[in-house]
Copies of this chain bind each other. A is one copy, B any other.
């Protein structure tokens, strides 16, 4: 749960950083708009807290740069500018919350929690990924290295199971039990066949292979040979 805090007053930023860390968050601090923007655009955070008045770029300019590339990450503006006009500017620029200094620290924590709560649970819910492979079980989409892959229902189910246990060897029986539910004939080679189909789509077009055979045991999803 990494948070980016962009705030130029060392006292304030140290205070917030320490406080949030005590609450279990991981906090990175940037001391001006330029550095803040760079970090925000190059890293992925659960939440970004922006002071509005900053050296080089204002918080609103940083927000604009973020929203140009990413609509998802929640942004909380934190500033001494408390008029409704200022707030409207902030929300209009795509902020998710606006807190006026001075504030009570517990309220900041509560708002930070409210903004991060939703994301944390929905990310776990639908998106699985391993290396450059991503699978969204709600949208039923799979991409590798950014390219979308077209899988059939069975192939999708099989990959989903592998992706749920990366690095763990799954026996044919385990795979069959989960993907084929009950209707499974032990003497069949369906699993092999589908692993083969999957490899053709997931591994063959790429140089780094992810699906590996462990002779006598089953199949694994892992990085190297």
Mark A residues whose CB is within 8 Å of B. 71-72, 84, 87-88, 91-92, 95-97, 104, 106-107, 110-111, 113-114, 118, 121, 138-141, 152-154, 156, 167-169, 214-218
**Closest 8 A/B residue pairs (Cβ):** A153-B216, A91-B110, A140-B169, A139-B168, A84-B104, A96-B114, A140-B217, A84-B107
Complex: how many Å from CA A97 to CA B216? 42
- 4 further A-B contacts with Cβ under 8 Å, apart from A71-B121, A88-B107, A95-B114, are A91-B114, A97-B114, A118-B118, A152-B215
Contacts of A215 in B (CB 8 A): 152-153
Given contacts A140-B217, A141-B167, A214-B140, contact A107 B95 (CB under 8 A): no
Contacts of A154 in B (CB 8 A): 216
A169 touching B139 by the CB < 8 A rule? yes
A88 touching B110 by the CB < 8 A rule? yes
Complex: how many Å from CA A36 to CA B112? 27
Nearest CB of chain B from residue A10's CB, rounded to whole Å:
25
Complex: how many Å from CA A167 to CA B95? 25
Complex: how many Å from CA A117 to CA B104? 27
B113 touching A91 by the CB < 8 A rule? yes
